[in-house]
Structure 1
């Protein structure tokens, strides 16, 4: 055969092979696996696939495993072409568990509570799109977010994951969030279903609420996202709902969620939240995520089907729900991959979101914005102002692509022409600060018996009885320990200035701390131990506190000391048999309440720096995380309230930047400072965002999505039966009157109202009109409010116009104010806009438990328009016919 003939033959062969591989190859694949035909609907493809699956394969598909992907994985079923379900924790960023994926780094966004503070639907869409993009490009196809748990009380440790205390605000932001995530081949998972509103006893607490409360408040955001965002998945929670575990409750999973709210997606359990085989399957759980040690489904579920305890039709329904979502969201056809992230672009989005979220709480005498041209020196003060790890802990903790601390951000802004100096003012904030009780004794007042360091000598054992030689000996700055869940890699936001405790001590352990307490002033000192397990405090070898409890307990003892004394301190602690249960680890804090004239060394150093500076910026923070504790005290930890007061005495030009995911108590220092910025947990660009707001590069427009009370005793949920609950039951006796609705009902004046937020400009509200009409063949009720809004100041700015419906014309008790609509409007100086706001019909309705439906009373309803739930600018009425 000639060379020319060989070439022609080879070309024909390659052409035939190519034809076979492409259209004919695809046709053959679609013949053997017809569900891979993209021209079919998701329902059709699911039905075809289900026909080819055995019972064993279906059960394998709906049962999670712990064999791969660090616990966030459902295995690929290659023989059926079913891709693995690769789950990433949310909702504040994509938490990458696999170290082989981009060094576990992704964009750390501002916390969801910060997103809620933007009151901006476009921001929520951008937030969701970034999450979807990064999930898809880091191999994930399920994002465990958004969190739709209502912030029921102001001290909730997981409030930072919430979108606030109001169901309408949550809904309006959650819809674009979910649509943004699912604009990629990624399924969003709303959590936690249902009444998952506290971390205290979160595995066992029985949350008791009425049907009306569920429909009007806690189920509302889920219902809206189901209706308007084609939500793929819902995660059921650890707690009980009205006496039945949430993941095993037919009333919660099937009757309410699937039947009444028409949810067609699938329900997955929180990790380890399923405790049964038959009960959970029949109740409506569709996917068991990995549990310890092996979960309750798998072979046990197959046996239950064979014994007739669970029908195969129920198994088919589970698999159908998951597969349909996978097909409809593109998981079969567009597999997620490991692709480089646009770090700079996404960092800019994170910064812009943080800037929009910051709330100017107070600004007397135009203390802000700062004028860098008028400043020669700035004191930046705060335990973690030089650290960019101020973020919520637990499953929301993200390993950022890069970070900018508040100190760095301020230096970036002012450059070399202004001297920027730093003093911590207190010890770093840590997971120990979640524990209840007084602040930890400062390290500057503790000393090992031998040595010139600060702190106490610590000895740690891997057993509960101090047996043998200690496994670890070191100097601890403070006795402020919170191990177990809070100490696993990636599950804490501890400062890099803190020494890490090895994971060997995360379960049963014992420890001893010895040294001296250096008395700074003569007076009475109240010393305390907050501990779970057994904690003993000895002063000069005398036992003064003896704590022994399987619940977290704080005990106090008041002692008199003379200045210069150095009494010996010995603290002995053991987890006892509480260690290792539900990931509990060591929990202990050595705390104090000092005489008012006592100022420790770190605060004194900060005061001296503030005195010689033109302005002092005090950056405070809290430590918030999921886990096992809600600290009902709203005090700033580690004596930061005293730090603010002392700095403000030294420098009247003191600005407070507060980083937290929840409300904090300000009544002891609010009057001492002219300006306060609530910065939340602002994400990896926190420093630049804070600086841009402080110096007026950005006009703050954030509004509070939660109410800030005066203190923890003056809230609508300060009753022990409501929180933490009595005998394992949390009574939602406040009903629908959560947050600002409850404060109004009970006549409680908050420190800062829901919706509050100032600006560097001013706005004028005029000429309000309200309208209600029924449209279409179903006579659907449409309501709206129109008004004129003018920027009457000198700088451009955005205002969130808020509309509240008053009490409804019915004998049924309804809120005197209920958010009915809002709109964020950007205006240049002197400009006016006619603003139209569509109102939510459910704000003019209530859930009738007898009828099992929403009821809209006829008659006149007051309408309030303003810049917060308290700052009402205009009033009118609307008549519903």
Structure 2
């Protein structure tokens, strides 16, 4: 098992093919943490703690103990000498995976559809509280990768929106909420992880594809900064404690060993102060990945379930034999412990009280090797009153796409209601009957894969509608459901008798390790699942008041039926979590006036969205290549560029009332007169060296620790480093293959755009204030989402880009003045030549309205130096 040297052949191949394939240039050394800003106190405490550790103890903080060796999906080693147990990493971005007595929250895409920063924060707090009280140290979310380059991308729903600003704001608010609750958030997957096909070569081989390397996302510098990196900047500014590097390659260098993306972009340019952890199985090398900026290996083993690790003992040896400087391990440990102290883990911490591997109360504590029987599930209920926030997010994220003649809200006077479609009902195997939700049975309330949680219950639309109708009619309403999507004759009979036919359809997707009906994570197409189009057609042919409700992970194709006169209303309800039915009836019956806006564009064809997913190997047996040729032009930006009329544009959503916009005003702020934006100059401090230099004898296996089979330890079995490594090639001089400057701990030049929290601080200076008046011209109180878009004015710029938004409640007849600001970052472009942000000389213009194509207000921006 090699531990210390680079994958020389792979590195050489990348250089050799640089002329024909995208190439990621090296950037070394890995920047060390500075502890600036809000990190100062935590950094000081972390330095003190790490300074008193042995080398092996530092390494133990960086390396997982192995797949299924502890309670959580990933768990580092601890510091037994100090009574500190390992740190617990647990999915997921919508609740606790593999647990019980926890909540199942709405997916990230629903949070984006609510366009409500306060709800995003409240959801973050609630999820953080549940993870905290289950003993979780790091919640593996939220998600900005995938951003949503492909509408059929499998995991788009785990994130928020293909717009970087909407995603960035929701990432930041979610992170603040989670970390205020006392758990470390993990922004993932960094970066370019936009599809499930070929994300891992081994997974693809299991599906029969002959490839030897994972897919490469080939992204140019301008696109990287202006699109994909944007929400990670917001995450860093929110103080996120950890970032997860992705499975895919970036310009033909693996994401967890990509020195350019980790060392230069994330730590150098954006000043990220926390730690970088690998995705599970995304760690491919030893010293290479450490020097390239990886700080924590998850779950620690080379292959899930193997007894070998690139790190652990091998990382300890790489320092002792002089291959890697100890300051790099010091920096890893300090970053980890700084995040730990920053969110207050030392105050909130409790050992994990659940097992990811069984729901039994008693089982093996080390499940992988069936050792140490004991109590593994305490069955601690952490749900609190979180059903209330779940229900509110579900209703507030509901998007009313069509409402002909005021078909909605329903009145409680309906005499005959037909509920049609499998998506209205229960999974016959139970709400948790499919592992990781890996099926599409019954109503859809979350996608599938590691981004899921077990339901404590699931309120279906059928249950909620029936209860609502019967309660308010004292049992006088006739309510019937047909939930077999092929029972079209029975559906037709019910629809022909109904005052209203409520039709439920869906489209599912998820993570690539699960294949549902030939959908290998990513969707095969954008059509509805399980005969959905025929269900709609049948109902609308027999009922002239057909209302369609869509549960889906992203857009679906609706061209064939959306404008049918008999289809009076269309609702997109997304993936609303455990309170699905309750959230829906709140909107159907008007208790909640819908205020959700679609967080993506509804096109007429798949082609409208731009390039397709890469689903066929296109580089022989080597890494498939996904050239991001669309640049920054994804979703509504693509539709605007190609002058394509969507069915429903980004940001669109109806209400039971109406709003008018007026009186836009743009005011340059005093801060904009402070002078020209200044590039960062100077050098860093030298790499700090903590404690005393390590010796071999300091790192021998301690006495009194019971060894578990296949458990990954950091200690040496012998003072003979060759024997401890178990590596037959130990004598190879690995230092010959270290990249230039990779071990240099001397002061380093600072990047022009760099800063301690997301980049150069001048970027976040407010330059303009924009105000507009919003009036409720209807008859009921409602929520509106004012949206500000900006034209940057350049020939290669999108027609417009979202820059600010809010969600406001306005009573009928009343007006509200909405005020927002634009920062230097908002009005800048990335300049590749100077490697900095610049404000171009092109005339810039702001637009305000309630969707990307309904922007009644506009004004030119005064120029700023």
TM-score, normalising length from structure 2?
Answer: 0.74
SS in 2 for 1:221: helix
Query: In the TM superposition, what is the alpha-carbon distance from 1:72 to its structure 2 partner?
Result: 2.2
**Shift in CA distance, 264/723, structure 1 to aligned 2, threshold 3 Å:** farther
SS in 2 for 1:805: strand
Tell whether 2:232 aligns with 1:222: yes
Tell whether 2:268 aligns with 1:259: yes
Structure 2 contact 448–509 (Cα < 8 Å) conserved: yes
Query: In the TM superposition, what is the alpha-carbon distance from 1:185 to its structure 2 partner?
Result: 2.0
| Per-residue deviation, residues 398-435 of structure 1 (Å, max 9, x unmatched) | 11222211011112222223221110141xxxxxxxxx
What's 1:87 paired with?
Answer: 89
| Per-residue deviation, residues 709-762 of structure 1 (Å, max 9, x unmatched) | 1121221234x7799866500010111112111111122222211101010100
Alignment of 1:467-486 (within 5 A): none
Structure 2 contact 507–527 (Cα < 8 Å) conserved: no
- How many residues are treated as equivalent by the alignment? 657
Query: In the TM superposition, what is the alpha-carbon distance from 1:93 to its structure 2 partner?
Result: 1.4
What's 1:802 paired with?
Answer: 787
Match of 1:345 among 375, 385, 393: 385
CA RMSD for the aligned pairs? 1.9
SS in 1 for 2:124: helix
What's 1:630 paired with?
Answer: 522
Distance 2:490 2:616 in 1: 39
Match of 1:615 among 475, 489, 500: 500
What's 1:818 paired with?
Answer: 801
Match of 2:424 among 382, 385, 393: 385
Distance 1:345 1:863 in 2: 41
Distance 2:265 2:838 in 1: 18
SS in 2 for 1:177: helix
SS in 1 for 2:395: helix
Distance 1:298 1:365 in 2: 66
Query: In the TM superposition, what is the alpha-carbon distance from 1:314 to its structure 2 partner?
Result: 1.0
| Per-residue deviation, residues 165-210 of structure 1 (Å, max 9, x unmatched) | 1111111111111010001221000000010111111111100011
Structure 1 spans left out of the alignment, 5+ residues: 1-39, 98-103, 427-600
Distance 1:735 1:88 in 2: 33
What's 1:296 paired with?
Answer: 310
What's 2:161 paired with?
Answer: 164
Structure 2 spans left out of the alignment, 5+ residues: 1-39, 201-213, 354-378, 427-442, 513-519, 677-764
| Per-residue deviation, residues 621-655 of structure 1 (Å, max 9, x unmatched) | 12221114422410001111111011100111110
Tell whether 2:88 aligns with 1:49: no
What's 2:762 paired with?
Answer: none
**Shift in CA distance, 254/85, structure 1 to aligned 2, threshold 3 Å:** same
What's 1:677 paired with?
Answer: 571
SS in 1 for 2:491: helix
SS in 1 for 2:345: coil
Tell whether 2:620 aligns with 1:752: no
Match of 1:125 among 109, 115, 121: 121
What's 2:329 paired with?
Answer: 315
| Per-residue deviation, residues 86-142 of structure 1 (Å, max 9, x unmatched) | 122021112244xxxxxx231111110000001111011101010111111111111
What's 2:110 paired with?
Answer: 114
**Shift in CA distance, 723/876, structure 1 to aligned 2, threshold 3 Å:** farther
Match of 2:557 among 633, 649, 665: 665
What's 1:461 paired with?
Answer: none
Structure 2 contact 106–445 (Cα < 8 Å) conserved: no
SS in 2 for 1:131: helix
Distance 1:724 1:124 in 2: 38
What's 1:421 paired with?
Answer: 480
Structure 2 contact 197–615 (Cα < 8 Å) conserved: no
What's 1:854 paired with?
Answer: 837
Match of 2:540 among 648, 651, 657: 648
Query: In the TM superposition, what is the alpha-carbon distance from 1:863 to its structure 2 partner?
Result: 1.9
Distance 2:670 2:450 in 1: 45
Alignment of 1:788-799 (within 5 A): 788-799=773-784
Alignment of 1:9-48 (within 5 A): 41-48=41-48
| Per-residue deviation, residues 529-586 of structure 1 (Å, max 9, x unmatched) | xxxxxxxxxxxxxxxxxxxxxxxxxxxxxxxxxxxxxxxxxxxxxxxxxxxxxxxxxx
Alignment of 1:45-444 (within 5 A): 45-66=45-66, 67-97=69-99, 104-149=100-145, 150-203=147-200, 204-227=214-237, 229-290=238-299, 291=301, 292=303, 293=306, 294-336=308-350, 341=381, 343=383, 345-373=385-413, 375-387=414-426, 390-415=445-470, 416-426=475-485
**Shift in CA distance, 272/879, structure 1 to aligned 2, threshold 3 Å:** same
SS in 1 for 2:785: strand
Tell whether 2:858 aligns with 1:880: no
SS in 2 for 1:708: coil
**Shift in CA distance, 309/603, structure 1 to aligned 2, threshold 3 Å:** farther
Alignment of 1:368-767 (within 5 A): 368-373=408-413, 375-387=414-426, 390-415=445-470, 416-426=475-485, 602-627=487-512, 628-672=520-564, 673-718=567-612, 728-767=624-663
Distance 1:678 1:866 in 2: 21
Distance 1:301 1:96 in 2: 31
SS in 2 for 1:396: coil
Deviates more, 1:331-340 or 1:790-799: 331-340
Structure 2 contact 458–578 (Cα < 8 Å) conserved: yes
Structure 1 contact 96–105 (Cα < 8 Å) conserved: no
Distance 1:344 1:301 in 2: 42
Structure 2 contact 398–594 (Cα < 8 Å) conserved: yes
The structure having more radius of gyration, on CA atoms, is: 1
| Per-residue deviation, residues 16-67 of structure 1 (Å, max 9, x unmatched) | xxxxxxxxxxxxxxxxxxxxxxxx9433332222222222222222110222
Structure 2 contact 281–298 (Cα < 8 Å) conserved: yes
What's 2:734 paired with?
Answer: none
Distance 1:821 1:267 in 2: 29
Distance 2:619 2:554 in 1: 24
SS in 2 for 1:323: helix
**Shift in CA distance, 156/723, structure 1 to aligned 2, threshold 3 Å:** farther
Distance 2:594 2:382 in 1: 27
Distance 2:667 2:61 in 1: 52
Structure 2 contact 107–575 (Cα < 8 Å) conserved: yes
Distance 2:583 2:820 in 1: 30
| Per-residue deviation, residues 641-692 of structure 1 (Å, max 9, x unmatched) | 1110111001111101100111111011212212110000111000011111
Query: In the TM superposition, what is the alpha-carbon distance from 1:824 to its structure 2 partner?
Result: 1.2
Structure 1 contact 859–880 (Cα < 8 Å) conserved: no
Distance 2:778 2:548 in 1: 24
Structure 1 contact 724–730 (Cα < 8 Å) conserved: no
SS in 2 for 1:770: strand
Query: In the TM superposition, what is the alpha-carbon distance from 1:324 to its structure 2 partner?
Result: 1.4
Q: Which has the higher strand share?
A: 1
TM-score, normalising length from structure 1?
Answer: 0.72
SS in 2 for 1:254: helix
SS in 1 for 2:594: coil
**Shift in CA distance, 365/389, structure 1 to aligned 2, threshold 3 Å:** closer
What's 1:483 paired with?
Answer: none
SS in 2 for 1:393: coil
Deviates more, 1:213-222 or 1:764-773: 764-773
Structure 1 contact 620–640 (Cα < 8 Å) conserved: yes
Distance 1:821 1:269 in 2: 32
Query: In the TM superposition, what is the alpha-carbon distance from 1:340 to its structure 2 partner?
Result: 5.0
SS in 2 for 1:714: helix
Distance 2:296 2:243 in 1: 10
Distance 2:521 2:173 in 1: 32
Query: In the TM superposition, what is the alpha-carbon distance from 1:233 to its structure 2 partner?
Result: 0.1
Structure 1 contact 376–614 (Cα < 8 Å) conserved: yes
